[in-house]
Structure 1
Amino acid sequence: MSKEPSSVDSASLEEQLSAYLDGELDDEATRQIEQRLACDPQIRKTLQDLERTWQILDTLDEAEVDESFTRTTLEMVAVAAEEDVQRQAAEAPRLRRRRVLVALTWLAGAAAVGFMAVALGWPNPNRQLLEDLPVVERLEQYRQIGDFEFLDALYREGMFVEEGNDES
């Protein structure tokens, strides 16, 4: 099993214990922490460690910060914010061009798909003419033959040899 859930629980417990030490918990949460402290020596040890940590931190000297430090820090923040604004302003036309190009690409793709759908799905009026072209090319020969009965009589007499069916 992974140790991550216990470390998350541990971090959550330390946050609750820290809030308990600072007096930031409501009555119900305070009561629950006190019950856990009464039952679990490990939690009591964690609370004692936190108390010692706070005591050690209280013994440290507070850093003195003069007005120039504050002013310098605020100036640095203002300069960084100004640089961000300038960078965003410089990138705006490029982003706008990119959006337009993407939109045009999608539009061209949709147009191409639409054209292909129409080209493949729309009936071609010349298609029938192309299919009938061999008949049209020999139309004079067919007119000389006469009617269907004549062709049928020739066929019955064996005048036509079908492909792949050589009887000779």
Structure 2
Amino acid sequence: MSHEPVENDPIADPPPLEEELVAYLDGELDAQAERRIEQLLAADPTVRETLRQLEHTWELLDDLGAADVDETFTRTTLEMVAVEAEEEVRQVTAELPRRRGWRLAMQLGGLGAAALAGFLAVALLRPDPNRQLLEDLPVLENLDQYEQVGDIQFLEMLREAHLFEKEDGHGT
């Protein structure tokens, strides 16, 4: 059974000024903080009213006196604290495998992302040796014919003679 503070609960989460005023009443402030509170009290009637209400509360608490409790109360209170602590340990222990699994999944995901980034970097940045082969494919397909020509000058003479022009009038 966990007692978590309700949001905006003034008892569970008092404003910082009230905490300082309580410390002022208890004499727990250092000299500098005490002077600052006294300056606030002199300048702000709202702060003075808050301090007056806190002093009144302290007086009422003093009038109540200390409650007499027997050993049973102390024992049951300690038992309740122990049960609460055991429950918290059980909850934390139950969450550990889930946290470990989540952490492992995140690590594996990061590793996979790094591997993918590395693969893409290599694939995009490294020159593809097959690309050059594809560009040279027409030459390679006719290599036997080109080897029989023997000399480039002979091919240039044929081109200048316009013997191999296409029907549309453009030479290749």
Q: TM-score, normalised by structure 1?
A: 0.63
Aligned mates of 1:48, 1:23 — CA distance in 2: 16
Equivalence for 2:78: 74
Residues 14 and 92 of structure 1: CA distance in aligned 2, closer, same or farther (over 3 Å): closer
Aligned length: 155
- Secondary structure class of the residue paired with 2:136: helix
Q: TM-score, normalised by structure 2?
A: 0.62
Q: CA RMSD in A?
A: 3.6
Equivalent residue runs for 1:53-68 within 5 Å? 53-60=57-64, 62-68=66-72
Please give the per-residue CA displacement for 1:81-136, whole angstroms capped at 9, x wherever unaligned. Answer: 11222232333333333333332232233223223333333444444333322111
Check if 1:138 corresponds to 2:142: yes
- Secondary structure class of the residue paired with 2:144: helix
Check if 1:111 corresponds to 2:122: no
Aligned mates of 1:26, 1:151 — CA distance in 2: 103
Structure 1: segments with no counterpart, 5+ residues: 1-10
Equivalence for 1:151: 155
Q: One-letter code of the match for 1:75?
A: E
Aligned mates of 1:14, 1:97 — CA distance in 2: 44
Aligned mates of 1:23, 1:86 — CA distance in 2: 41
- Identical aligned residues as a percent: 56
> Out of 92, 95, 98, which is 1:88 matched to?
92
Equivalence for 1:102: 106
Q: One-letter code of the match for 1:76?
A: M
Which structure would you say has the larger RCO, counting Cα contacts within 8 Å and 6 or more residues apart?
Answer: 2
Structure 2: segments with no counterpart, 5+ residues: 1-14
Structure with greater proportional helix content: 1
